A and B are shown apart, each in its own frame.
Chain A
């Protein structure tokens, strides 16, 4: 069977807010452009996971007429609380006056980002964008001059050993004048592009967090649509930063989640377990009691802010959204930024396609996105550098007193993969067994993510050196993949009396944490056969 190829004006990789916004904007600017968008999830939204408190302004910029009818914008934020959890049962309410300005949510909506993406994708199809869910871009294509000229999709029907099965179907080359990469946090092509085109030159290393989220259906009397709760502190302690959230949205649903920064230091730290514990805090538990957990998932968050934001244009294409690092770390909000970056990319690309002279940097620097990101430039670096308390104090002072006008830039040069201390039995963390009421084990959680992969296919988590997990990583860090992976993909098991590093690739949630946190940078996430991965609904 031959590999076929097809040509478009623009091909977009990734159907998140960034990719979808650029697709729509391109067609709005020039309906004659042929635009195609690939999404690795089996449907648009099935791999999207977000909080989400959403700043709607950009959506109205993109769809001035239709945005008001968007069915996902139905729960405006009504109340906004921040708690500092000082212990298992203790908390202090942070007075509104003292809350960092960036955490105020008036005018925002609580939404499911997956549902929003579905809605935008319908708009995109109406505008004539060809959307193909279930097809990951496997690699990008270049011409002799080194210019990116499109992507190719993966082959289907290859067995575990790499042989062609009866159902073998070759992938396809999609050539384009411009290729836009919008894969979200730690895109696997984005990672290669950044390296190949030196897009991170002069930037501080990117920083990431892992965000967990569950949806609960709760009792009527525990549900007040529009209420937003943010927490800091417990169960995360010194050496680990992050924060919790709990949002009441529609249909008696509550989104509860914990964000754990991936520069944590203790290798025995288990972010999944921290999240399970988090729900037991009285400030959280009070809402979930007697409720039913209906969904689970996890996803990495790019949170280095503008200091780490890579150069977004390169020869033949663009990298946008969380793939590039456009999230505003002071708010942990990236959806509106992703939309904006998509719009900017579309404006730029449509110009250069008509051979107008245009410099992306000028366009970007003039944008509201740039202004927003510039203001919050010190937020995560301060947290990382000064630790939680001082960092938080710094951020508070900078944002509320100096209104982000201080002419200082704080930088954090350590990569997340380099932050682990050596394994030390003295500091080993133990976690209680799940109570199956508020806290659960990984397998029952995974069940609710709907994740699944064709079983007979090559393992999509590739080890550069297969010996490292059982040698360096085990000796120095007790192989932390066993704990940071939110899907229990990595296990060291006993196989006929010897340690064996088992990769349960079918469980993978495509969160990308392993690719980020592996202390040996030995794990490479690659896309599995199309359609595999979580099947999030309403996340």
Chain B
């Protein structure tokens, strides 16, 4: 069984996103970038499956400009076997639908039976790509998973999904796509020896244009704004009674 792990390079989640007023975009020049934390969890899960002997190969895929290679190198250093880099022009604003179409192409080509990916990327917070991908290639889908168990015969997986009302357990026939949630595992570090070794692992580069996928944007970002912390007009109170009556009036109790 081949596992494909799509990974995304995003602004480091602990870095404050800042808006460049002139370009009306989030300013990423010289900003610290990192692998999307949900993708790290996906990589970890794929590696655990491979280590248990149930997978033949793990392949990380990422789409982006040259810098994206760093993120693929991180995946390789964590332990993924090889990487596919889909190279784009710098200006391209790829949306989940495009990404799903590109990934669909690669998954078909690789004949991968399992796709493990993050439930969302912490930059655009769309939470869509895995779902869309499953729609395009008609793989079964398990979103927001916090537990993953491959059946003994290797034809299906049992997943626990973290949903609003609790935890749903489902059985997914392979081929399948799962999107992972935070509690699934704790990703390993890319250790220094492994970073060194990762340099000689295979990385294939594919020009996006060679795939013939229409990437014209469906959504245009008109403007962006930092939400910031706004001061509120505060009212002084001085007793429990007053507090409860205010809260009742505001309808929040």
Contacts and interface: CB of A to CB of B under 8 A. Distances in A.
Contacts of B191: 156, 169-170, 172
A494 interface: no
A18 B32 CA distance: 23
A66 interface: no
A170 B191 CA distance: 8
B31 A537 contact: yes
B189 A167 contact: yes
Nearest to B18: A294
Contacts of B32: 42-43, 46, 450, 535, 537
A132 interface: yes
A370 interface: no
23 contacts: A4-B193, A6-B196, A42-B12, A118-B30, A130-B196, A132-B192, A156-B189, A156-B191, A165-B186, A167-B186, A167-B187, A169-B189, A170-B191, A171-B192, A172-B193, A450-B14, A450-B15, A450-B32, A535-B12, A535-B32, A537-B30, A537-B31, A537-B32
Given A166-B186, A447-B16, A535-B15, A115 B30 contact: yes
B183 interface: no
A231 interface: no
A52 to B, nearest CB: 15
B10 to A, nearest CB: 14
Nearest to A217: B21
A538 B193 CA distance: 30
A399 interface: no
Nearest to B14: A452
Contacts of A167: 186-189
Interface in B21-77: 30-32
A171 B191 CA distance: 8
Contacts of A486: none
List the 10 shortest-distance A-B pairs measured between CB atoms, nearest first: A4-B193, A169-B191, A172-B192, A169-B189, A452-B14, A156-B189, A535-B32, A537-B30, A172-B193, A135-B192
B16 A450 contact: yes
A43 B191 CA distance: 16
Given A6-B196, A42-B12, A294-B18, 16 more contacts: A4-B193, A46-B32, A115-B30, A118-B30, A130-B196, A132-B192, A156-B191, A167-B186, A170-B191, A172-B192, A450-B15, A450-B16, A535-B14, A535-B15, A537-B31, A537-B32
A157 interface: yes
Interface in B140-162: none
B237 to A, nearest CB: 24
A452 B16 CA distance: 12
Nearest to A130: B196
A328 interface: no
B192 A157 contact: no
Interface string A159-181: 00000011101111000000000
Question: In the complex, which of the residues B14, B18, B30 has the most CB atoms of chain A within 10 Å of its own CB atom?
Answer: B30
A448 B195 CA distance: 30
A153 interface: yes
Contacts of A172: 191-193
Contacts of A448: 16
A427 to B, nearest CB: 37
Nearest to A452: B14
B81 to A, nearest CB: 19
B136 to A, nearest CB: 35
Contacts of A118: 30
A166 B186 CA distance: 8
Q: Which bracket fits the contact residues of B?
A: 10 to 19
Interface in A485-509: none
Nearest to A46: B32
Contacts of A157: 189
Nearest to B27: A537
A519 to B, nearest CB: 34
Contacts of B186: 165-167
Interface string A422-442: 000000000000000000000
B26 to A, nearest CB: 13
A170 B15 CA distance: 27
Contacts of B15: 450, 535
Interface string A500-539: 0000000000000000000000000000000000010110
A419 to B, nearest CB: 37
Interface string B185-222: 01111011101100000000000000000000000000
Interface string A330-369: 0000000000000000000000000000000000000000
Contacts of B189: 156-157, 167, 169
A233 B16 CA distance: 35
Interface in A66-98: none
B187 A153 contact: no
A173 to B, nearest CB: 10
Contact of B188 (A42, A169, A450): A169
A511 B7 CA distance: 35
Contacts of A171: 192
Contacts of A42: 12, 32
A538 B196 contact: no
A537 B193 CA distance: 28
B27 to A, nearest CB: 9
Contacts of A130: 196
A535 B12 CA distance: 10
A538 B30 contact: yes
Nearest to B34: A42
A112 to B, nearest CB: 9
B192 A153 contact: yes
Nearest to B188: A167
Contacts of A294: 18
Nearest to B31: A537
Interface in A131-175: 132, 135, 153, 156-157, 165-167, 169-172
A527 B191 CA distance: 17
B105 to A, nearest CB: 32
Given A157-B189, A452-B14, A132 B195 contact: yes
Nearest to B44: A167
A34 to B, nearest CB: 12
Contacts of B30: 45, 115, 118, 537-538
A4 B194 CA distance: 10
Contacts of A4: 193
A297 B186 CA distance: 31
Question: In the complex, which of the residues B16, B18, B186, B189 has the most CB atoms of chain A within 10 Å of its own CB atom?
Answer: B189
Contacts of B14: 450, 452, 535
Question: In the complex, which of the residues B188, B189, B192, B196 has the most CB atoms of chain A within 10 Å of its own CB atom?
Answer: B192
